Structure 1
Amino acid sequence: MIRRFAVLIAALGLAACAASGDVPQASGPPLPQVANGPIAIETMQEVTRTLSSDAFEGRAPGTPGEEKTLAYLVQRFTAAGLKPGNRVAKRASWFQDVPLVEITASRYDPLVIEGADEPLRYDFGTDWVGVSYRTQKRIDLLQSELVFVGYGINAPEKGWNDYAGIDMRGKTAVILINDPDHASGNTKGLFGGKAMTYYGRWTYKFEEAARQGAAAALIVHDTIPAAYGWNVVQSGWSGPQSYAARDDGGKGEALVNGWVQKDAARTILAAAGQNLDGLVQAAGKPGFRAVPLRLTAKTGFDNAIRRYTSRNVIGVLPGVSRPNEYVLYTAHWDHLGRCPADATGDDICNGAIDNATGTAALVTLAEAFAKAGAPARSIAFIAVTAEEQGLLGSDYYATHPVFPLAQTVAGINMDALSLAGPAKDVIVVGNGKSRLDAYLAAALAKEGRRATPDRSPEKGFYYRSDHFSFAKRGVPMLYFDGGEDLVHGGQAAGAAYARAYENRYHAPGDEYDPAWDWRGVAQDLQLNYLVGRMLAETREWPNWNKGDEFRRIRDASCAAPGGC
């Protein structure tokens, strides 16, 4: 799940001066009137309690805990009235195989920069980190020319291309983190000001460098625009790295993707006769052109490769009149499995909130839809694997969709539902991006609640959970967190809940608690139901707002034969 709790606590102190929450809405046809769904909170409780029990061993992919989880979900989906959503060898199946590869790098050579008066040498971990997405046992980057490419963005809808006029084949891209206007104090600007867009995320920067043919990509780490310190990069980019297996073995990826410390980048650029601060200023202005540095980079490392298969679980409630149009509900079933033991010796990360609650929500909503009667469009319930390893299950589905993305209306992702109790609001992550804001606003009005925009848009939380795998391929996706302004205790109580959960997050303490207050979960499930029901009854195909980074992808999908 995305780790918002520490940010939430800090943001609550600014609540008095923040806007209360009118979320921007795109215009469109009137939304259908739908009745509340028959939400059975007992189902939520039972499924959450079961999945987070020690018997499931923390639900790590590739372990006996996975097998128990899959069997249980099939049992519950069947009882809820769903049909198997996939077809394998002409037979109906509940599962989509997700081939995964784990790559563990070792025996790193230093990163050596040549072409100046003296070679510059940088040690792995201290000065730079890097991995390869290619499934090959040895990686050697040799005499690769360095090119400073600013923010590494190619956004034709914004008239911005940092790679214009440069052939990157065989070269190493040196890239700034975040967006060109990230230092803005507001959310105005070509790239949303301080609100990070997809173009600001490190994932995009590596993807675009690969599309440009780069041999390597090195992002310059800077704590404020990255939203985390070097220690996070150092730990996250060391040790085993898991990826969805690529059909070409990763040949379309750069040889090396990594990060370099800001001070190291400063010395590299100085050796090329350039000034980092000056280049940052230039890169933030329209018309920037890449700067060849006349230096070369080399490094290398060994890779140990392990292949294994996990599974997504897919159930569908066929629509009564437009069954080939699909509304998605997604949640990740996996967690961390065994983890460092706590003071009591408990070494099972049960993941009760993260994300047994979201998985239980899939089952509960499936029951509600079936009891209320199938809507016009089909509803797909997808429990994805390996979110904790980098959104791998959702990414695999989105690249190998069971239901064509051009026939997928929209989706709702559920990750770590709040057990804080009933709230007056919800936190909308990615507010202002799509027409789905209007659907949520209508559901909130029916409940007498309000939307509070994400108070830390610069952190890019919208790009850090399973909905992103679909959004980046054009499917409008809604994600909201439980509210921070509680009915009992207000924002102070919301902050207290966030602090308490922060201590249990990704630790053995995230266990089922019989004393939990489920009234807030019932509220949020009703919202999810109402939004999904409206999407499943309308004839509208909601889109991203004009200027959004995903709009052109959706437009192209809808323009294709059989699309939208």
Structure 2
Amino acid sequence: MRSFLLAPCLTFAASALAQTAPAPISIETVKEATRVLSSDAFEGRAPGTPGEEKTLAYLAQQFAKAGLKPGNKGSWFQDVPLVEITSRNVSPLTFTGAGSPIALNYGPDMVVGTYRVTPKSTVANSDVVFVGYGINAPEKGWNDYAGTDVRGKTVLILINDPDYASQTLNGPFGGKAMTYYGRWTYKFEEAARQGAAAAIIIHDTVPAAYGWNVVQSSWTGPQQVADAANNHMDQSEAIGWIQLAAAKQLIGAAGRNYDQLVAAAQTEGFRAVPLTGVKASVSFDNQVRRHASKNVVGILPGTKRPDEIVLFTGHWDHLGRCEAAPDGDDICNGAIDNATGTAALIGLAEANAKAGATERSQVYLAVTGEESGLLGSAYYGDHPIYPLAMTVGGINMDALSVAGLARNIVVVGKGKSELDTYLDRALTAQGRVAEADPMPQNGYYYRSDHFSLAKHGVPMLYLDSGDDLVTGGKAAGEAAARDYTDKRYHGPKDEYDPNWNWAGVAQDLNLFYTIGRELANTTAWPNWVAGDEFRAIRDRSRSGK
């Protein structure tokens, strides 16, 4: 007999929400799917591995069992063309010309790779330039590359935005709220546009929002990039990260003060600083393998307006085998990140199928390649199975919390779209409240798959589990999040634990269910709020222009 855990205090008035009363979300279904997907048998669910094959077969089986239909013209799958690049024989990253040579070893001191699909990458005696935060934002009158030619050179880049340390949301880059300019993906993109031979980000735990252990586990081993006709030869020869201490040593040896350079980089009008005489060199071989990874897609067809789509997303992939823990465990199981969100897709599909089809269709999309830069969701955004102009909106699920019941839920991107009103109604019925992301400086809005749909104008909710726990309050919530980030995130110890507290997951899934069914039974088309960065895109999409 299955047990069904429902969030407490779920009382609904006789209103529009009556038809979306809590479904019996089977927490046992979600638990079992999380356990299976994060087991060692799946080897960390890396794209292009036997772990992917097992994941795809399992998800297709579970989607069918839940009551979904294949969502891509009779198939459960959408091919996502990828290239796997594995760096081999990585030389030390060596800096000469500033006293004794500084040689940084791959793994503990630096990580390096490439987007280029090429058998070998070499940077030899490249001039080194400190480019601050590596931002070129014409609309803000900010250009860290102004007046400096970095073609063929190695650029050292700070992580996050110039005003990340602000205690407010005021500043040229939104104060403590990270913008896309603060993300490592943007910094490598801009360095390539500027012609840099190598782009190296200086790791600093606070502005990065994670420790070096996360960088090392994420950037060593096979890396995935989207396949491209030009083999990404317009990208930098080498991209990577170095430890903060190494950067300080290098800049000091070049006769500069690191802290003074950082302070200058945080001010308007900063100009890049060449490290005169310093040359960078690194080389490595690339093992290249093209393959088609897959998004998994299922549909619960609508009864009245089946061409109108409500979307649920979550990424099925993780890091596969990674940097081993001290006990020798080298499987990054990704139990929280994101076996929980993938299992939630199965649980929600099952609940919605049991409750009966809605007026609009519901599409459940488990995407690949999130850990490599949102590759699967980006591919869906560029090659949608269902027209994005007819996609009403959706909910993305990534890394659910097993810390217990919460009084609130955290909205990453609160106030951006009219979906907040659907959320508020559902939360009121649960006796909970919505709160803005308390750590906007971490840039979570740009780190999960909702962003790929938002860029195409589709309103998406991305909700973190609440941090104000019923037992222990905010202190307990912050402690649980810190414990996960420090000890398990992107490491081999993100493993399934049979002793987890699933009550908060059940609470959240009932919330997602309620919002999803209301969206799927209404005729409304929620939009981004006036002035939001994605509003014009949506307006053009809906107008057919």
TM interval, short-chain normalised: 0.7 to 0.9
Cα 1:341–1:191, aligned 2, differ >3 Å: closer, same or farther? closer
The code of the aligned residue for 1:326 comes to I
**Is 2:545 the counterpart of 1:559?**
no
* Residue 53 (structure 1) shift: 5.8
**Is 2:180 the counterpart of 1:213?**
no
The 5-angstrom pairing of residues 3-18 of structure 1 reads none
Secondary structure of 2:20 counterpart: coil
8 A Cα contact 2:389 2:542, kept in partner: no
What is residue 453 of structure 1 aligned with on the other side? 436
**Is 2:495 the counterpart of 1:510?**
yes
**Is 2:288 the counterpart of 1:305?**
yes
Counterpart pick for 1:525 among 503, 509, 525: 509
Q: Distance in 1 between matches of 2:141 and 2:19?
A: 41
8 A Cα contact 2:102 2:250, kept in partner: no
Counterpart pick for 1:393 among 376, 383, 393: 376
The code of the aligned residue for 1:75 comes to Q
8 A Cα contact 2:311 2:364, kept in partner: yes
**Is 2:104 the counterpart of 1:123?**
yes
The code of the aligned residue for 1:559 comes to R
Structure 1: unaligned runs, 5 residues or longer: 1-30
Deviates more, 1:116-125 or 1:168-177: 116-125
**Is 2:346 the counterpart of 1:363?**
yes
The code of the aligned residue for 2:507 comes to Q
**Is 2:123 the counterpart of 1:138?**
no
* Residue 444 (structure 1) shift: 0.9
Deviates more, 1:270-279 or 1:248-257: 270-279
8 A Cα contact 2:310 2:393, kept in partner: yes
Counterpart pick for 2:70 among 72, 84, 107: 84
**Is 2:312 the counterpart of 1:329?**
yes
Cα 1:309–1:442, aligned 2, differ >3 Å: closer, same or farther? same
What is residue 543 of structure 1 aligned with on the other side? 528
* Residue 457 (structure 1) shift: 2.6
Seq. identity, %: 60
**Is 2:407 the counterpart of 1:417?**
no
TM-score, structure 2 normalization: 0.80
8 A Cα contact 1:432 1:545, kept in partner: no
The 5-angstrom pairing of residues 42-441 of structure 1 reads 42-48=28-34, 50-52=36-38, 59-87=45-73, 92-111=74-93, 121-125=102-106, 128-142=110-124, 144-164=126-146, 166=148, 168-230=150-212, 232-262=214-244, 264-266=246-248, 275-291=257-273, 297-320=280-303, 322-335=305-318, 351-388=334-371, 391-441=374-424
Q: How many positions carry a matched residue from both structures? A: 524
8 A Cα contact 2:417 2:526, kept in partner: no
What is residue 25 of structure 2 aligned with on the other side? 40
Q: Distance in 1 between matches of 2:466 and 2:541?
A: 39
Cα 1:119–1:313, aligned 2, differ >3 Å: closer, same or farther? same
* Residue 40 (structure 1) shift: 3.0
Q: Distance in 1 between matches of 2:408 and 2:518?
A: 20
8 A Cα contact 2:218 2:322, kept in partner: no
Q: Distance in 2 between matches of 1:118 and 1:420?
A: 51
Q: Deviations over 1:454-477 (max 9, x none)?
A: 333323333333334444555443
The code of the aligned residue for 1:317 comes to L
What is residue 449 of structure 2 aligned with on the other side? 466
* Residue 181 (structure 1) shift: 0.7
8 A Cα contact 1:33 1:534, kept in partner: no
Cα 1:378–1:509, aligned 2, differ >3 Å: closer, same or farther? closer
Q: Distance in 2 between matches of 1:542 and 1:534?
A: 15
* Residue 301 (structure 1) shift: 2.2
Q: Deviations over 1:177-205 (max 9, x none)?
A: 21111121223223221222221121211
Q: Deviations over 1:426-470 (max 9, x none)?
A: 233343444443332222112110123333332333333333444
8 A Cα contact 2:43 2:331, kept in partner: yes
Q: Distance in 2 between matches of 1:485 and 1:273?
A: 48
Cα 1:562–1:315, aligned 2, differ >3 Å: closer, same or farther? farther
8 A Cα contact 2:127 2:154, kept in partner: yes
Deviates more, 1:290-299 or 1:214-223: 290-299
* Residue 361 (structure 1) shift: 1.7
Cα 1:222–1:362, aligned 2, differ >3 Å: closer, same or farther? closer
Q: Distance in 2 between matches of 1:374 and 1:200?
A: 42
The code of the aligned residue for 1:258 comes to G
8 A Cα contact 1:424 1:483, kept in partner: yes
Q: Deviations over 1:471-529 (max 9, x none)?
A: 4555443222322333355456656766886767654683362x655443232112112
Secondary structure of 2:517 counterpart: helix
Secondary structure of 1:451 counterpart: strand
Q: Distance in 1 between matches of 2:455 and 2:375?
A: 14
Q: Deviations over 1:63-88 (max 9, x none)?
A: 4443343233223323444332224x
Secondary structure of 1:306 counterpart: strand
